[in-house]
Amino acid sequence: MQYKDVYAAWKADPEAFWMRAAEEIDWDTEPSKALFADNAPLYEWFSDGFVNTCWNAVDRHVEAGHGARTAIIHDSPVTGTIHRITYAELKARVASLAGALREKGVEKGDRVIIYMPMVPEALEAMLACARLGAIHSVVFGGFAAHELAVRIDDAKPKAIIAASCGIEPGRVVHYKPLLDAAIEQAQHKPDFCVIFQREEEVAKLTEGRDFDWHAFQYGVAPADCVPVEGNHPAYILYTSGTTGQPKGVVRATGGHLVALNWSMKHIYDVEAGDTFWAASDVGWVVGHSYICYAPLIAGCTTIVFEGKPVGTPDAGTFWRVIQDHKVKSFFTAPTAFRAIKRDDPEGRLVKDYDLSSLKALFLAGERADPDTIKWAEAKLGVPVIDHWWQTETGWAIAANPLGIEKLPVKIGSPSVAMPGYDVQVLDEGGHPVKPGTLGAIAVKLPLPPGTLPTLWNAEARFRKSYLEHFPGYYETGDAGYIDEDGYLYIMARTDDVINVAGHRLSTGAMEEVLASHEDVAECAVIGVADDLKGQLPLGFLCLNKGCNRPHEEIVKECVKLVRDQIGPVAAFKLACVVDRLPKTRSGKILRGTMVKIADGAPFKTPATIDDPAILDEIAVALKELGYPKA
């Protein structure tokens, strides 16, 4: 089979294509059809089927006689431990945890927030929710208490499952005080919390509210899998939008199972028994789809890696993990490879390991720069596959589908649209443009199974953010073009989202925090190019009239404010004070022009600018911060 035949078969009969893919999933009641379009332009998949995610990810493999196969390997260079869990053990652990949650009142449809580092218990907590039909929402550990509080108020969880601590190189992340502060700040209070105590730091539990992970499971009957409707939400994952209020991306159960299972075989070319490794974090969509669910649904061994590409202990860590666990398919963000390349430019450490198990490297999360791709290809000697997707879609929109056919790689392109996605580049009026012409990238509705049906408690925002600008299409928020051969090129975001070390962040959210500083009258945050992290946020602060405090002091306070309010992951360390911001005559801040000045890129002074002299002032301020880089 060739890619073009598979894509054409989908296009000719999407219903038959997805019903065939659905046969690989164990349904309690089979769906009568794939697409439910009664409520268009809101679509659902497999709505009248009944199914359980945990059954498909865990129990069915044990039933099929594969209980002794390793399901999860926790490889943790930061604690110096490696721990393997078989499918049979995983089933017992998840059923026990689910039983204890049920005993405390967690039922189908209840929300449970999970706030944990890279430990297998994070996956077990996700699977235990899935077992009960409870809707989990995992919050990344690098977010501050305030961000957690915002998510608590939006998801209104019955329970929160957290670990006592996480471990970053050189410091312990104290999860429990962050959790306590978040619950204190939030209007909504969970009924109870479950705390997984780690050896590195044992947290003090709040009497009556907090339960110890092990103790609360003691003597409780394990829970069976609860079948849920195909359109039942499996999880909510918050992601950055244009404002400080994150978007709660909803993932529906049936489509999630079908699409992820399809992707493992056809995109990543792995099968049951293979080891698949996504070096990301459970707090991001990559962690949901490709650390937890997809590898387990497909019966693979997945790796939960608690470390960094460099410094834990060195730039050879990734190669050691690939060698020791015989990783067949490896997935990470380009920034991780840039970090390795910086520490070990010659790739000397690669030679110390046997990487013969590795068949392909997949990159996503940000633009894969040609230097990084070429370096990885040369050092690893395997295909390096850039692929493009988003939290919203849950799986690749565009990729080179190795399990179907390895298409020629075009460096700089994440290759071609996957079945299910009719990707088009549109002009401002919503008309498809000619190949090679830059425009907004949109996907013709309906989106395929596994993608978001709506935003949690925010259908109007869903319609406004994604469906209204180009009727009949899903607006991706990315701009780019398609070439004559159908290869996509993703060039930039069309909104205020920036991508820092593969982490999606909102400049609007940072501006809201900076504006709350008592001396700041007005501000703007832009993303500037960075060799390691792809982009870094940089803030411009205009101070209140009469404020004569030293600028360095205010900048320092603003940096701390963003770290305290959003979290260390924002990586907000660059800011400067300016008198004025460049604006159009109608008052719109010219962020794009400031980005060009900071990156040393050619730019035209916008015709609508209010006062062109301000651009010179911005250039002077940037120069003091060292931008543009030589």
Residues that bind ligand COA (CB under 6 A): 141-142, 166, 168, 173, 280-281, 284, 286, 308-310, 333, 335-336, 339, 365, 500-503, 533, 568-569, 571
Min CB(542)–ligand AMP separation in Å: 29
Rounded Cα–Cα distance for residues 451 and 316 (Å): 35
Cα radius of gyration (the chain): 24
Residue 238 near residue 246, CB atoms below 8 Å: yes
Please give the residue ranges that form the binding site for ligand AMP (CB under 6 A): 239, 285, 364-368, 386-391, 414, 477-478, 490, 493, 499, 504
Residue 388 binding partner per list ligand AMP, ligand COA, none, with a CB distance cut-off of 5 to 8 Å that depends on partner kind = ligand AMP
Q: Is the dihedral of CA 606, 610, 616, 620 positive or negative?
A: negative
Residue of 345, 343, 319 lying closest to 332 (CA atoms):
319
Min CB(200)–ligand COA separation in Å: 13
Residue of 61, 64, 121 lying closest to 96 (CA atoms):
121
**Which is nearer to ligand AMP, 347 or 412 (by Cβ)?**
412
Residue 574 binding partner per list ligand COA, ligand AMP, none, with a CB distance cut-off of 5 to 8 Å that depends on partner kind = none
Residue 600 binding partner per list ligand COA, ligand AMP, none, with a CB distance cut-off of 5 to 8 Å that depends on partner kind = none
Min CB(261)–ligand AMP separation in Å: 20
**Which is nearer to ligand AMP, 391 or 424 (by Cβ)?**
391
Min CB(4)–ligand COA separation in Å: 29
**Which is nearer to ligand COA, 217 or 280 (by Cβ)?**
280
Residue 47 binding partner per list ligand AMP, ligand COA, none, with a CB distance cut-off of 5 to 8 Å that depends on partner kind = none
**Which is nearer to ligand COA, 228 or 566 (by Cβ)?**
566
Min CB(280)–ligand AMP separation in Å: 10
Cis amide leading into 446 (omega within 30): yes
Residue 625 near residue 537, CB atoms below 8 Å: no
Residue 504 binding partner per list ligand AMP, ligand COA, none, with a CB distance cut-off of 5 to 8 Å that depends on partner kind = ligand AMP
Rounded Cα–Cα distance for residues 172 and 168 (Å): 6
**Which is nearer to ligand COA, 148 or 594 (by Cβ)?**
148
Residue 27 near residue 52, CB atoms below 8 Å: no
State the DSSP code for 227.
-
Residue 333 binding partner per list ligand COA, ligand AMP, none, with a CB distance cut-off of 5 to 8 Å that depends on partner kind = ligand COA
Residue 629 near residue 623, CB atoms below 8 Å: no
Locus of tokens 């209104």: 156
Decide the pairing of beta strands 439-444 and 423-426: antiparallel
Min CB(441)–ligand AMP separation in Å: 9
How many Cβ atoms sit within 10 Å of the Cβ of residue 123? 30
Min CB(62)–ligand AMP separation in Å: 32
**Which is nearer to ligand COA, 308 or 326 (by Cβ)?**
308
> Which contacts (CB < 8 Å, 24+ apart) does range 554-562 have?
554/517, 554/519, 554/520, 557/517, 558/514, 558/517, 558/520, 561/513, 561/514, 561/516, 561/517, 562/510, 562/513, 562/514
**Which is nearer to ligand AMP, 75 or 392 (by Cβ)?**
392
**CA 68 centroid distance within chain:** 31
Helices (H) and strands (E) in the chain, counts: 19, 32
Residue 478 binding partner per list ligand AMP, ligand COA, none, with a CB distance cut-off of 5 to 8 Å that depends on partner kind = ligand AMP
**Which is nearer to ligand COA, 99 or 309 (by Cβ)?**
309
**Which is nearer to ligand COA, 78 or 541 (by Cβ)?**
78
Rounded Cα–Cα distance for residues 397 and 363 (Å): 13
Whole-angstrom CA distances from 460 to 38, 153, 231, 413, 468 are: 18, 18, 19, 33, 10
**Which is nearer to ligand AMP, 255 or 283 (by Cβ)?**
283
**Which is nearer to ligand COA, 241 or 365 (by Cβ)?**
365
Residue 281 binding partner per list ligand AMP, ligand COA, none, with a CB distance cut-off of 5 to 8 Å that depends on partner kind = ligand COA
Min CB(503)–ligand COA separation in Å: 6
Residue 74 binding partner per list ligand AMP, ligand COA, none, with a CB distance cut-off of 5 to 8 Å that depends on partner kind = none
Residue of 41, 53, 43, 39 lying closest to 14 (CA atoms):
43
> What is the phi/psi pair of residue 384, to 5°?
-110, 115
Min CB(569)–ligand COA separation in Å: 4
Residue of 160, 143, 136 lying closest to 209 (CA atoms):
160
